Amino acid sequence: MQITDIIMDFDGTCTVIPAIYEAFLSEYLAGLNNTVFSGSPVLAAEWKEALEKVKTHSPQAPWTIAFAPAAPAGADPYILSFEAARYLLQKKKIQKDIPQEVFKNASDRFPAPWRPEAREVFETLLRNNINITFISNSSSTTITNRLLSLFSVEKLPFGIAVKSDAAKFRIAELSWYSAIPTGTRDLFLAVPPTHEDLGIGRPVYLRRAAYFEAICAAFNNDLSRLPTTVVCGDIWEMDLALPYALGANIHLIERASPFDTYAYERKVTLQDATRGKISSDLRGLLEWVRHL
C-alpha cells in the first residue's frame, strides 16, 4: 500500500506538552481567578486537588466542553484544566461559563514547543510526495503561523495544508442542509453512533460532524483516498476513532507523563496491525513508508 496523505493533529501530537503544562495550568488558574472565581479565588492547593481528582476519574470522566463526552478528561492539560474548573464551579455552586479568554491567554503565553523531530519528518514526507494536512481543534491561523516559523518561510511549503478549527469535540450529526454531497454523506451515516464497549465506564461517540466536514474539506469531498491516508493524533477517541471507522489508517503518538496514554487506546489502535501503529514520537510515521 502506497501512502498518499497524512492528516496531522497538532496539540500534543506535534508539540511537547511536558515542557509547558505546569506553567499553563498556573496561568489558567490565574485567569479563572480573574473571571469566574473573582469573588472567591481558588487557592493553589485547591486547584491542585481538583486537577488530581479529575485525573483520578479519567478516562471515565470525559471532556464536556460541548456537553457530550468527547475525550478523556486527563488526556492533556488543556482538557484537564477545563474539567477541573467545571468541577470547582459545581462544588462552589457558581453558575457561570468559563470565558474562552482564560484558555487563550494561558496557551498564548505558554505555547508548547514543536517536537524536535517535526521539521525533519515533515520534510522527509514531502520529498516523497506525501501530502500533509493539519486538522485540529486549534485555529488554522495559529497552526499556519507555527508552521511558517518552523520552516522559516513566509508561505507554507508545497504539499502542506491547514484545514483546522475542526471542533473534534462536538458530538453531532450532519445537518440536513450540509453541503456534503450525498455519496460522501453516506459514509458518515454508515459510521455507528458509538464504539463498542471499551470498558471505560461510558460510551465513546464516533459521529462528529464538524470533524467529518473538516476531513471532507481536506479532500474536496472525495474520500476515496482514505485507504491510503494515515491520520496521526495523540488522543485516540478524539483524533483517530472516526477516521478509522471511515476507512483511514491511524497512527497514535503516545502521550508523555503525567498525561500518559491509556492501555485501551493502545489496544484499540492495534486491533488491526495493518491499519494502526503507535510510536513515542513523529519519526514513527516513517514506518508507513518503508523506503524512506
Whole-number pLDDT of residue 1: 75
Nine-digit cell string for 56: 483520578
Confidence of residue 290 (pLDDT cuts 50, 70, 90): confident
Percent of the chain past pLDDT 70, that is, above it, reads 99
Tens of pLDDT, residue by residue over 81-134, are 999 999 999 999 999 999 999 999 999 999 999 999 999 999 999 999 999 999
Tens of pLDDT, residue by residue over 25-40, are 999 999 999 999 999 9
Query: Could you state, in order of their start, the residue ranges of all structural domains in the chain?
Result: 5-16+113-288, 21-109
Tens of pLDDT, residue by residue over 220-236, are 999 999 999 999 999 99
Evaluate if residue 291 carries a pLDDT over 90.
Answer: no
Evaluate if residue 190 carries a pLDDT over 70.
Answer: yes
- Residue given cell 486527563 in the structure block: 74
Evaluate if residue 267 carries a pLDDT over 80.
Answer: yes
Using CA atoms, how far residue 80 sits from 55, 123, 243, in Å, is 7, 33, 24
Of 69-78, 165-174, 193-202, 282-291, give the lowest mean pLDDT range.
282-291
Confidence of residue 22 (pLDDT cuts 50, 70, 90): very high
Evaluate if residue 292 carries a pLDDT over 70.
Answer: no
Using CA atoms, how far residue 249 sits from 31, 112, 207, 227, 261, in Å, is 39, 27, 17, 7, 19
3.40.50.300, 3.40.50.1000, 3.40.250.10, 3.50.50.60: CATH of 5-16+113-288: 3.40.50.1000
Q: What is the mean pLDDT of residues 255-263?
A: 98
Does residue 235 contact residue 251 with C-beta atoms inside 8 Å?
no
Instruction: Specify burial of residue 269 (Cβ count, 10 A radius: 0-12, 13-18, 19+).
Output: buried
Percent of the chain past pLDDT 90, that is, above it, reads 98
